Each structure stands twice: as C-alpha cells, then as structure tokens.
C-alpha cells in the first residue's frame, strides 16, 4: 500500500491514477484545502491534515510500504506574502509525517520538490549538483525539506528520492481529472482561459529578457510524464535502497510567446495579448538537465508541448464548455 499525500490535487491525482493502473494499491490523504475529493477516483481516501498527530490513525488502519508526498502549497507569489504559512505546511508538517513514518517503520519516501530550490541558476540547462539558492519562501520551504530528508536518511533505515519539477502542465488524456487551481497561476491554463473566453486577454510580463524573442523561457513537462517518474523513483527505492535527487523536465525550453502561439495553433482561437512590465524574481531561462534520471532510472519524457496543450485544451473544454 502506498500513501499519497495531496492526492486530491493536480499532480497527486494524476500520479494516484498512474499508480493504480500500474497495479499498486493506494490510500490518498488530503485535507481538501486545495484538492478535490472527486479527483480521488482510485484507491482509498482519508480526509486528514498530514501535519496532524491524528495521521497515525491512517498508518494504523493501512499497511503502508511507502509515501509519495505531494501535500504542499506551491504559489510563489503567495509564499512571498505569507512565508510562515509555507514554512509550517511544507516543512513543519512534513517533519510530522516523517516522525510518524519512523514510528511505524515506513522507510521509503518520494518528495515532490521543485526547480525553485535553484533560484537564479548559475548555468542552463540546470544540473542537480548546482548550488541551491532559493529566492522565494516557496523554494526555501522545499530546500529545507530536502535537507530534513538528508538528515533522516543519515540516521539509517530510511531512503528518499526528491524530484525537482520544472513546469508541470497538461492533463489526463481521458479527461477524468485535470488542472484546476483556485486561483490559477500557471501559464498554459491562463492562456486557455483567454482562448475559451473566460478572460479578455493574456498578459506577457516582460519582453526584454535575454532570450531570442525577449520573453521568459521555461521547461514544460506533461503531468503524466511526472507521474511515471514517481513510479520509477519508487521502484528505484525498492530495488536499489539508496537515496537520490533528480530533475524532472523535458530538457527543452519554450518562451511565453511560443506557448501562446501553440495555444492559438491547437485551439484555432484568436485572443488579445497584452505586453506588461516584468515581474520581480523571474529568471530569463529555466531548463532542466534531466540526464541523471534518464541514466539512472531509464525515464524519458514522452510528450511534447503540442501534446501538453492539446490535453489541457480538452480538459478546459470539458469543464468550461460541456
């Protein structure tokens, strides 16, 4: 049995589906502060806060072999406004989870981490051995969580994999679940909002970056590719019994303008695009070097930007048109 915290959220729900399709039995723990109970269509569901001491009841009820930990707040902007909220939920509550795992002898842990731990990278593509210098409270909360996992592993009889995501995007191809944030902050669903008429326009924040078209470049990875990487990482822990850290990205970058153009191509819709001022703290280029996970786990992303946008568009039409 695998415990999936935050399994009613975007990436957690897609990974929970993939785990069940791969033959694993799961129990999802989510307090539904950000997630949706109707996203938990596979496995068992328990409504708990992973920062609560009552979480022990889940470990008593189920024979848990390992934990996939998606339960976290993830808005950079909100983290700047409310840093203690991110420190408490993303770090302190994870410590509670780790303590309960120790009590029950559960020693395999996959962390949903982030490229935000790198801050402004020294070089691109970004490798895992670059110095970690997060520039916002969200990235810092994941950085100190990774350090807590290092300490836990050093005690013995505990191994972890931290997966540093770049830009998760796209949706379930069956449209059973998808991306649904409130408020939405991710670029692709925001552009799709403009395409479907839910917003009047989409804004580009900064056109003077040191990139070919002047807009920020990011590495987009399909959520199903992320889900597969979690399964591969869990099996790696079962077989190799050693801790590790991996980047998760396509290794290819697309600018904001290129993403907008792809949305127009896929949807066949025209919409207004406004040019706005830069936002503080946005690096020019963030692209993953995912060589390490390909070499160690044999994981390779399967889906390109067009497929990512197509799957997201199908979900968007289902929830906002049908």
Which residues are annotated as catalytic?
138
User: Rounded distance, CA 76 to CA 86, Å?
Assistant: 10
Does residue 281 sit in helix, strand or coil? coil
Residue 196 to residue 270: CA distance in whole angstroms: 10
Is-contact 270 106, C-beta < 8 A?
no
What whole-number distance in Å separates Cα of residue 119 and Cα of residue 104?
Answer: 36
Q: Listing from the earlier edge strand, what are the strands of the sheet with 217-218?
A: 254-255, 217-218, 285-286
User: CA-CA distances (angstroms) from residue 147 to 12, 151, 160, 287?
Assistant: 22, 6, 11, 23
Q: Where does 104-222 have alpha helices with state H?
A: 137-154, 187-196
Contact 1, 62 (CB under 8 A): yes
CA distance 87 to 11: 21
| Neighbour tally for 155: CB within 10 Å | 8
Six token digits for residue 245: 């850290």
- Could you give the dihedral angle defined by the CA atoms of residues 265, 269, 275 and 277, in that order, rounded to the nearest 10 degrees? -80
Contact assessment for residue 304 and residue 225, using Cβ atoms and an 8 Å cutoff: no
Region of 206 on the Ramachandran plot (φ > 0 left; ψ -120 to 50 alpha; else beta): left
């Amino acid at each position: 049995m695998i415990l999936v915290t935050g399994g009613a959220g975007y990436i957690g729900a897609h990974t929970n589906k993939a785990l069940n399709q791969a033959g694993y039995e799961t129990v999802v723990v989510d307090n539904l502060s950000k997630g949706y109970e109707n996203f938990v269509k596979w496995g068992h569901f328990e409504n708990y806060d992973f920062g609560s001491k009552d979480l022990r009841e889940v470990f008593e009820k189920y024979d848990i072999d390992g934990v996939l930990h998606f339960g976290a707040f993830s808005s950079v902007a909100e983290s700047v406004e409310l840093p203690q909220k991110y420190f408490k939920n993303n770090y302190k509550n994870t410590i509670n989870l780790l303590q309960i795992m120790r009590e029950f002898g559960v020693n395999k842990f996959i962390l949903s981490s982030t490229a935000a731990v790198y801050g402004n990278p020294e070089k691109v593509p970004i490798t895992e051995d670059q110095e970690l210098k997060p520039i916002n409270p969200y990235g810092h909360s994941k950085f100190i969580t990774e350090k807590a996992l290092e300490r836990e592993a050093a005690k013995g009889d505990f191994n972890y994999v931290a997966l540093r995501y770049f830009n998760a995007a796209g949706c379930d191809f069956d449209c059973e679940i998808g991306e649904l944030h409130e408020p939405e902050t991710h670029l692709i669903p925001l552009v799709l909002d403009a395409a479907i008429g839910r917003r009047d326009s989409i804004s580009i924040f900064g056109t003077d970056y040191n990139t070919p078209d002047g807009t920020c470049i990011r590495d987009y990875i399909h959520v199903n590719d992320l889900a597969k990487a979690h399964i591969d990482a869990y099996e790696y822990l079962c077989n190799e019994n050693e801790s590790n850290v991996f980047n998760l990205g396509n290794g290819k970058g697309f600018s904001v303008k290129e993403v907008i153009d792809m949305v127009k191509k896929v949807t066949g819709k025209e919409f207004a695009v406004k040019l706005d001022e830069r936002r503080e703290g946005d690096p020019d280029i963030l692209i993953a070097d995912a060589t390490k996970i390909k070499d160690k786990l044999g994981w390779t992303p399967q889906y390109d930007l067009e497929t990512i946008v197509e799957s997201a568009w199908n979900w968007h039409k289902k929830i906002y048109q049908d």
